[in-house]
Amino acid sequence: MKKNRLIALLVGLCLWTGWSQAAEPANDRQVWAEMCYKIARPVLENMSKGELQKNMQMEYSPTWDGRDKRVAYMETFGRLMAGITPWLALPEDNTEEGKMRKQLHEWALLSYKNAVDPKSPDCLLWKSSSTQVLVDAAYLAESFLRAPEATWAKLDKETQARYVECFKGLRTIRPAYNNWLLFRAMVEAFLFSIDEEADEYVLAVATNKINEWYLSDGFYSDGPEFAFDYYNSFVMHPMYIEVLEVLEAKKFWTTVSTELAIKRMQRFNTILERLISPEGTFPAVGRSITYRMGVFQTLAMAAWKYGMPENVSNGQVRAALTKVMQNMFAVEGNFNEKGYLALGFAGHQPNLANYYTNNGSLYMTSLVYLPLGLPTDHPFWTDPAQPWTSQKAWSGKQFPIDGHVSLRK
């Protein structure tokens, strides 16, 4: 009798403290995979059946500028796929993660097809008076570049031909004189990568201009004037590097090497990692803060493809990003009643949405999930968790001193 009471007391104590071994994720990768699946499932499950535009619960900025609201579906699909295709490219397995990944992959391939099928209710808005179409077509092109064998190579010839036609049709759009140059360049770089005729003038202008806008210390100006925000992570570094990689492979001369562009990104990553507070938060500054964890795309991209910058370890970056992820998505209101992302930074905060933002825009947060494209035994996932820089700094521990780095050439 006493033994039963003791067991009941221990169970009650566990429940009272909120601790349950069965409910807790086994490791950081499980946290990432389950959240990524939660974000992606409503989009891909519906779009694979041609029902995204019928069923997606939409939300637009209170200051919406009047552009065609149908651009939201291109934003949703393009941005989501740019973040998750490396994960979908992993070999199949029978783990719980493998089952989630396989299901998303199957849905994604059907969704890719529907996106350009004129007969599908989910055929995207490729022709519009809204230039926004260019932006998110670029993220779709980027998704193909990031995992070509798992995406582009698995599409039927007719679907591939439709994408080529749609991408080439975007050449009538004149991009803004800022990071948008990279959207034009990304589309052309993808066409170049599959041996389609590319607009080499666009590629030359974009790569030259972005280099001219390099300031120092890992930061590019977004156009002629510098803006203190996270667009260096949302667009500038990742797309610049990926465009340069295609051009390097095609022996297309550029003023900047891929190696230098990566060094600039790693300097930016050194600073970005230091912006994560000891508690696992980061400053909500600048435009498009509703893109949530897309802020960390460059750190995620480094983990997935290039390795960590000097004096920054896998263990500290994984631990820091996991903590930020848990903090952000623990707030009530991040998702609406149908499971789609809702306007906000941490929770539902529609007043934070810029005039161009809808809740499809928010799928930029998927860009943090690039490291899921690494196998489970990669050091990013297996190295022990370590305190990140601000934790060391604010607990009296030693941490590397920081200093200016130019990287102009």
Q: Which CATH number is 297's domain given?
A: 1.50.10
8 lies in a domain?
no
Q: Find the DSSP H helices in 49-156.
A: 52-55, 71-88, 96-116, 132-146
Mean pLDDT of 248-276: 98
Question: CA-to-CA distance for 294 and 239, rounded, in angstroms?
Answer: 14
DSSP H/E element including 220: strand 219-220
pLDDT at 409 over 90: no
Give the model's confidence band at 26: pLDDT under 50 very low, under 70 low, under 90 confident, else very high.
Answer: low
pLDDT for the residue numbered 129: 79
**Residue 9 falls inside a structural domain:** no
pLDDT (mean) for 285-300 = 98
Q: Domain for residue 2, yes or no?
A: no
Residue 407's CB is within 10 A of a number of other CB atoms, namely 16
Q: Is the pLDDT of residue 10 over 60?
A: no
Give percent of the chain with pLDDT exceeding 90.
91
Residue 98, in any domain of the structure: yes
Determine the Cα–Cα distance for residues 106 and 373; give it in Å rounded to an integer: 17
- pLDDT at position 408, please? 82
Amino acid in the structure at residue 329:
F
pLDDT in tens, 34-53: 999 999 999 999 999 999 99
Q: How far apart are CA 361 and CA 295, in angstroms?
A: 13
Tell me: pLDDT of 127 over 60: yes
Residue 19 maps to a domain: no
Question: Which residues contact residue 306 at a Cβ distance below 8 angstroms, ignoring those fewer than 6 apart?
Answer: 262, 265, 266
Which residue range(s) make up the domain with 165?
26-393
Does residue 406 sit within a domain?
A: no
Give the residue among 136, 4, 129 at the shortest CA–CA distance from 81: 136
Residues 6 or more apart from 278 whose CB is under 8 A from it? 390, 391, 393, 394, 395
- Number of domains forming the structure of the chain: 1
**pLDDT recorded at residue 25:** 55
153 lies in some domain: yes
**15 part of a folded domain:** no
Supply 32's token pair: 């990432």
